[in-house]
């Protein structure tokens, strides 16, 4: 686009490529992040302005969350959908056709390659940050190849660290879908404050690393034998610089990973145990208080083969996952109590990515309905549920106690692969 002709003006045109640089930079500062990226493809001068915009690290307006997903199993390009503008963008990711992504924070993705090795990537800029390989997790004992040349790992399933390893072979594909459960990131890669806290299998344990580290550091050594696993959610708090981890048994641990000697200190406050069909989230509020959000889901099936509503082939049973309830409680960590809370003028964004609690006044009309939670797929740790049957996304209305499914709201066509279900991401150019 270099010229717009105004027929009513007798054929005179306006050359948009000749706009001054400062005008272009002001225009870009008013756009959503994906639109800023696309503006760089308009013409030579706009591409130059986009380069200047990034080099100056100019701030963009408050960016609403977007949904990121793979629309095709074999495609190297992901799809970024903006509910605020109803626009879809193709996001080319690197060569990892066999990999996937799990979580996002600060505009970056925690992704894996075909061999299940993790890394961080900004999907809009292509910038990458290295993370330690899967073989440096304490539970992964060795790597080899099977008869077909595929990568397999020997994983120790023994919960008692002093006992001999009880290893099982896990393929790289299975490791991508199953090993990494949740990720929290304290800051953008490149900064000294960037720490990646990983919740992983086989026993929902915690390990952490900084980009560029050679190995993952397990947090099991600083906890008792009974406390070292069964975590269900982690979150980083900007207010105090600490990570918080929720266990499936209901207790909360706070983790200080900022110094050379990481510390894991359990709270004595135990909330309650979570049922097998509940997913618990810790969500930071702007004031620094934590929310405890419980998502209750049900699994349904019919004794016949076929295609689910989400387009997934389910084999012998027609399975679907449905969110049946969402409960929000504000945690008072000092008084050891919590109270039920309606989101009110805030919107919740929940999924396998870090949960967010955002004021609706800063969100576009399509995402600013009061008392709502915007849900992406996440069924916790039900390992008996086929991963390909997990498409459960939409908008939960707290007032009506019901959810509108994503296929009624958003034009998504996600690939029926568990590691490639839609996730929430807030794009960033930094």
Q: pLDDT tens digit string along 118-156?
A: 999 998 888 999 999 999 999 999 999 988 888 999 999
Position 316 scores a pLDDT of: 40
Residues 6+ apart with CB under 8 A from 36: 28, 50, 53, 60, 429
pTM: 0.84
Average pLDDT, integer, range 98-103:
74
> Per the domain annotation, does 191 fall within a domain?
no
Q: Strand 372-375 relative to strand 346-350: parallel, antiparallel, unpaired?
A: parallel
> Per the domain annotation, does 312 fall within a domain?
no
Separation of alpha carbons 411 and 94, rounded Å: 25
- pLDDT of residue 387 exceeding 50, the answer is no
Range of the domain at 53: 1-61
Position 183 scores a pLDDT of: 92
Check which CATH number belongs to the domain holding 26 and give it.
1.20.1280
Q: pLDDT tens digit string along 308-318?
A: 433 333 444 44
Position 419 scores a pLDDT of: 52
CA 148 to chain centre: 32
Residues 6+ apart with CB under 8 A from 13: 3, 4, 5, 6
Within 201-289, strands assigned E span 205-209, 217-218, 231-237, 242-247, 251-256, 263-270, 278-284
Q: How many domains does the chain have?
A: 1
Average pLDDT, integer, range 202-211:
91
pLDDT band at 297 (very low <50, low <70, confident <90, very high): confident
Separation of alpha carbons 86 and 367, rounded Å: 11
- pLDDT of residue 293 exceeding 60, the answer is yes
> Per the domain annotation, does 53 fall within a domain?
yes
Position 22 scores a pLDDT of: 87
> Per the domain annotation, does 2 fall within a domain?
yes
Separation of alpha carbons 416 and 185, rounded Å: 27
Residue 429: which region, alpha, beta or left (left: phi > 0; alpha: psi -120 to 50)?
alpha
pLDDT band at 429 (very low <50, low <70, confident <90, very high): confident
> Per the domain annotation, does 166 fall within a domain?
no
- pLDDT of residue 389 exceeding 60, the answer is no
Position 162 scores a pLDDT of: 67
> Per the domain annotation, does 352 fall within a domain?
no
Q: pLDDT tens digit string along 40-87?
A: 888 888 888 888 888 888 777 778 899 888 776 666 678 888 888 888
Location of structure tokens 């979150």: 235
Calculate the average pLDDT of the chain.
Answer: 79
Q: pLDDT tens digit string along 159-200?
A: 766 677 789 999 998 898 889 988 999 988 987 789 999 999
- State percent of the chain over pLDDT 90: 20
């Amino acid at each position: 686009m270099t010229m717009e002709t105004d027929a009513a003006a007798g054929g005179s045109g306006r050359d948009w490529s000749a706009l001054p640089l400062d005008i272009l930079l002001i225009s870009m500062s008013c756009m959503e992040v994906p639109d800023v990226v696309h503006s760089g493809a308009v013409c030579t001068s706009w591409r130059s302005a986009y380069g200047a915009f990034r080099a100056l690290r100019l701030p963009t307006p408050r960016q609403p969350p977007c949904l990121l997903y793979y629309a095709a199993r074999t495609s190297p390009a992901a799809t970024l959908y903006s509910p605020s503008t109803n626009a879809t963008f193709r996001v080319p990711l690197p060569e990892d056709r066999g990999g996937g992504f799990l979580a996002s924070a600060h505009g970056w993705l925690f992704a894996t390659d075909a061999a299940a090795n993790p890394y961080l990537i900004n999907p809009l800029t292509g910038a990458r940050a290295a993370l330690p390989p899967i073989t440096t997790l304490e539970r992964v004992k060795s790597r080899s190849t099977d008869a077909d040349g595929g990568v397999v790992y020997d994983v120790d399933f023994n919960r008692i660290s002093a006992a001999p390893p009880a290893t099982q072979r896990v393929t790289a594909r299975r490791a991508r879908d199953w090993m990494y459960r949740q990720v929290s990131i304290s800051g953008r890669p490149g900064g000294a404050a960037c720490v990646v806290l990983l919740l992983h299998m086989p026993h929902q344990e915690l390990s952490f690393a900084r980009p560029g580290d050679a190995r993952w550091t397990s947090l099991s050594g600083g906890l008792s034998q009974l406390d070292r696993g069964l975590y269900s959610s982690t979150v980083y708090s900007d207010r105090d610089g600490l990570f918080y981890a929720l266990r499936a048994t209901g207790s909360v641990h706070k983790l200080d990973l900022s110094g050379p000697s990481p510390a894991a200190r359990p709270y004595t406050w135990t909330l309650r145990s979570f049922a097998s069909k509940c997913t618990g989230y810790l969500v930071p509020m702007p004031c620094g208080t934590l929310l405890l959000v419980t998502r209750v889901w049900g699994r349904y099936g019919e004794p016949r083969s076929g295609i689910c509503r989400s387009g997934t082939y389910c084999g012998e049973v027609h399975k679907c996952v449905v969110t049946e309830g969402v409960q929000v409680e504000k945690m008072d960590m000092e008084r050891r109590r919590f109270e039920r809370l309606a989101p009110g003028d805030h919107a919740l964004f929940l999924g396998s990515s870090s949960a967010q609690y955002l004021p609706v006044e800063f969100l576009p009309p399509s995402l600013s309905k009061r008392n709502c939670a915007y849900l992406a797929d996440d069924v916790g740790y039900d390992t008996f549920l086929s991963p390909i049957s997990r498409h459960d996304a939409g908008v939960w209305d707290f007032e009506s106690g019901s959810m509108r499914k994503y296929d009624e709201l958003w034009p998504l066509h996600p690939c029926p692969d568990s590691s490639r279900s839609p996730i929430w991401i807030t794009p960033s150019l930094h």
